[in-house]
Amino acid sequence: MEWLTNSIYYIVPFIVLLGVLVFVHEFGHFLIARLTGVQVTDFSIGFGKKLWGFTDKYHTQWKICAIPLGGYCQFLGDADAASAHSDKNVSLMSEEEQKKAFPMQSPWKKLAIVLGGPGFNYLFAIIIFTMMFALMGTFNFPPIVGDVISGGAAEKVGIIKNDKIIEINGHEIKNFNDVTTEIALTTNGVAQVKIDRNGEIIEFNVPLQTMEMEQNGQKVERPMLGVKSINTLELDPTKLTWLEAFIESCRQTWQITVNTLRGVGQMITGKRSSQELGGIIRIAEMSGDISRKSGIVDFIAFMGLLSINLGLINLFPVPVLDGGHVVIYLVEIISRREINGKIKENLFKIGFALILALMIFATWNDVVHLFRRFFA
């Protein structure tokens, strides 16, 4: 029965999570296409064999397919779901059909349709966070030690993983941001740290150790405790007004975007290990862990976080991704001429190869990570 339990805690939440995010993304493309008069021929959640579907009065075929690892919107006049090629028979369509065909639209309309997917991912995250902040309160990372930096100040005095920091220099610690603040305010180089270890209160005098960190894109040295936060959210029941909640959700969304871009930049420049890059398997593992150990609030917050990442990644200027289309349409708008079809085809081939290589690398990282988790 263990396989059944694992399927409930890992496979089912993952399919629900990915299905919702893919639907939101593709619905963004779909809605903008409808509003601009472009015919959507297919709206699919998943790839491969159709399991279920129907055709609406606008002749759009809605379907759920066997491989739940993505989805697509295909428009009238496109030869494929990625809009990489136009149907050879577009020129033979009637005048009425050409008005609704994607390849016959202006670059401005195409740009709006392409941006609809990532835009809806961001909007979905903002809606999730706004509702959470207004109805339940804000969320923070609790002051629980998720990891101890090797050779750091905390490790030297005996602070260990899962210790809960409850007080620093006589000031109560409510979340992990308070830890950073109080350590920065320590004046004599020694922090008085009180922790809760399985109900036992232990006090440490910690001589802080100067360590290098990145701040606003620059490396700085400052005294640090040498601990990392645990990746679990904690809810502060203090509710915000709807306006305050909306503003805070926009701020959080922006901060998540900036941090993600900074992390990608650090991987590219070698300042951060590329082994941290995860793929589908890592997402399934994380969604399963959250559904197993935490509640629905953490799962919904995780969904909002992933929605931001999905929107952001799709904006990367790589052909095949939405961002690649954005670059192409912007070039066409500026140059006032359409890019040669052969050039587009070669760009999409390169983009597909890059995405495939990245997926293979991320999957390899996921497999190594799982092996270390269960067998190391």
The pLDDT tens digits of the residues spanning 167-207 come to 998 888 877 778 887 887 787 888 899 999 998 999 999 88
What is residue 216's predicted lDDT score, i.e. its pLDDT? 42
What is residue 235's predicted lDDT score, i.e. its pLDDT? 66
Percent of the chain past pLDDT 90, that is, above it, reads 29
Q: Which of 157-166, 262-271, 349-358 has the highest mean pLDDT?
A: 157-166
What is residue 260's predicted lDDT score, i.e. its pLDDT? 80
**Mean of the pLDDT values across residues 12-21?**
86
Instruction: Check whether residue 259 and residue 129 sit in a common domain.
Output: yes
What is residue 273's predicted lDDT score, i.e. its pLDDT? 61
Instruction: Check whether residue 118 and residue 150 sit in a common domain.
Output: no
**Mean of the pLDDT values across residues 65-72?**
88
* pLDDT higher at 341 or 166: 166
CB 321 within 8 A of CB 311: no
What is residue 217's predicted lDDT score, i.e. its pLDDT? 44
- The catalytically annotated residue of 2, 26, 212, 332 is 26
What is residue 29's predicted lDDT score, i.e. its pLDDT? 95
Q: Active site includes 338? A: no
Instruction: Check whether residue 134 and residue 243 sit in a common domain.
Output: yes
Instruction: Check whether residue 350 and residue 253 sit in a common domain.
Output: yes
Q: Give the domain-ending residue among 195, 230, 265.
A: 230
**What residues make up the domain containing 298?**
105-140+237-376
Mapped to the 3 state alphabet, what secondary structure does the chain carry?
A: CHHHHHHHHHHHHHHHHHHHHHHHHHHHHHHHHHHCCCCEEEEEEEEEEEEEEEECCCCCEEEEEEEEEEEEEEECCECCCCCCCECCCHHHCCHHHHHHCHHHCCHHHHHHHHHHHHHHHHHHHHHHHHHHHHHCCEEECCCEEEEECCCCHHHHHCCCCCCEEEEECCEECCCHHHHHHHHHCCCCCEEEEEEEECCEEEEEEEECEEEEEEECCEEEEEEECCEEECCCCEEECCCCCHHHHHHHHHHHHHHHHHHHHHHHHHHHHCCCCHHHCCCHHHHHHHHHHHHHHCCHHHHHHHHHHHHHHHHHHHCCCCCCCHHHHHHHHHHHHHHCCCCCHHHHHHHHHHHHHHHHHHHHHHHHHHHHHHHHHHHC
Return the bridge partners of 45, or none. 64, 71
What is residue 293's predicted lDDT score, i.e. its pLDDT? 67
Instruction: Check whether residue 223 and residue 370 sit in a common domain.
Output: no
pLDDT of 205-252, one tens digit each?
988 888 766 544 445 577 888 888 776 666 667 788 999 999 999 988
Q: Give the domain-ending residue among 193, 209, 230.
A: 230
Whether 42 maps to a domain, the answer reads no
**Mean of the pLDDT values across residues 35-43?**
93
Instruction: Check whether residue 192 and residue 327 sit in a common domain.
Output: no
pLDDT of 348-359, one tens digit each?
888 878 878 877
- Of the candidates 223, 255, 238, the residue with the CA atom closest to the CA atom of residue 175: 238
Whether 4 maps to a domain, the answer reads no
Q: How many domains does the chain have?
A: 2
What is residue 85's predicted lDDT score, i.e. its pLDDT? 67
Instruction: Check whether residue 155 and residue 289 sit in a common domain.
Output: no
Instruction: Check whether residue 245 and residue 135 sit in a common domain.
Output: yes
Lowest mean pLDDT among 22-26, 161-165, 236-240: 236-240
Here the CATH number for the domain that contains residue 222 is 2.30.42.10
Instruction: Check whether residue 262 and residue 118 sit in a common domain.
Output: yes
Instruction: Check whether residue 304 and residue 191 sit in a common domain.
Output: no
* pLDDT higher at 285 or 70: 70
* pLDDT higher at 137 or 100: 100
What average pLDDT does the chain have? Answer: 82
* pLDDT higher at 146 or 159: 159
**Mean of the pLDDT values across residues 110-126?**
96
Can you read off the two tokens belonging to residue 245?
């909640």
Whether 300 maps to a domain, the answer reads yes
Can you read off the two tokens belonging to residue 176?
């992990």
Instruction: Check whether residue 248 and residue 169 sit in a common domain.
Output: no
Instruction: Check whether residue 170 and residue 302 sit in a common domain.
Output: no
pLDDT of 328-354, one tens digit each?
999 999 998 888 778 887 888 888 788
d(CA 65, CA 74): 14
Enter the pTM of the model: 0.76
Q: How many residues does the chain have?
A: 376
**C-alpha angle with apex 125: 53 to 68, nearest 5 degrees?**
30
CB 173 within 8 A of CB 166: yes
Whether 296 maps to a domain, the answer reads yes
